[in-house]
C-alpha cells in the first residue's frame, strides 16, 4: 500500500559537515569530515537578567567550513 500524497514540505540536506569518520561521505557523498568546536557562555547579571551565547564552528582540511553564532535572551511567557 502506498502512502497518501500530501502537500507537506520537508527539508533536504544537499551538503554538510560531520565530525565522525563513520558518517563521511554519507549516502550521496555530500558530507565532508570536519573538526567541530562548540562554545557556550551563560551569564546572569546582578539585575536578574540572564542570557547565553553560543558559537558552532566546523572546519575541514579542504579549506571549507561554517560558523554559526547564536544569542539567547529569555522573554516572558505569553499565552495566545
Q: What is the pLDDT along the chain (80 residues), one digit of tens a residue?
A: 566 777 888 887 778 888 888 888 877 788 888 898 999 999 998 888 889 999 999 998 878 888 999 999 888 888 87
Domain ranges of the chain: 35-75
Q: What is the pLDDT of residue 17?
A: 85
CA distance 41 to 63: 27
Amino acid at each position: 500500500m502506498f502512502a497518501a500524497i500530501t502537500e507537506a514540505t520537508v527539508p533536504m540536506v544537499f551538503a554538510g559537515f560531520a565530525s565522525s569518520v563513520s558518517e563521511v561521505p554519507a549516502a550521496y557523498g555530500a558530507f565532508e569530515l570536519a573538526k567541530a568546536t562548540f562554545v557556550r557562555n551563560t551569564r546572569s547579571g546582578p539585575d536578574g537578567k540572564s542570557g547565553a551565547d553560543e558559537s558552532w564552528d566546523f572546519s575541514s582540511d579542504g579549506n571549507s567550513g561554517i560558523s554559526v553564532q547564536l544569542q539567547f535572551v529569555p522573554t516572558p511567557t505569553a499565552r495566545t
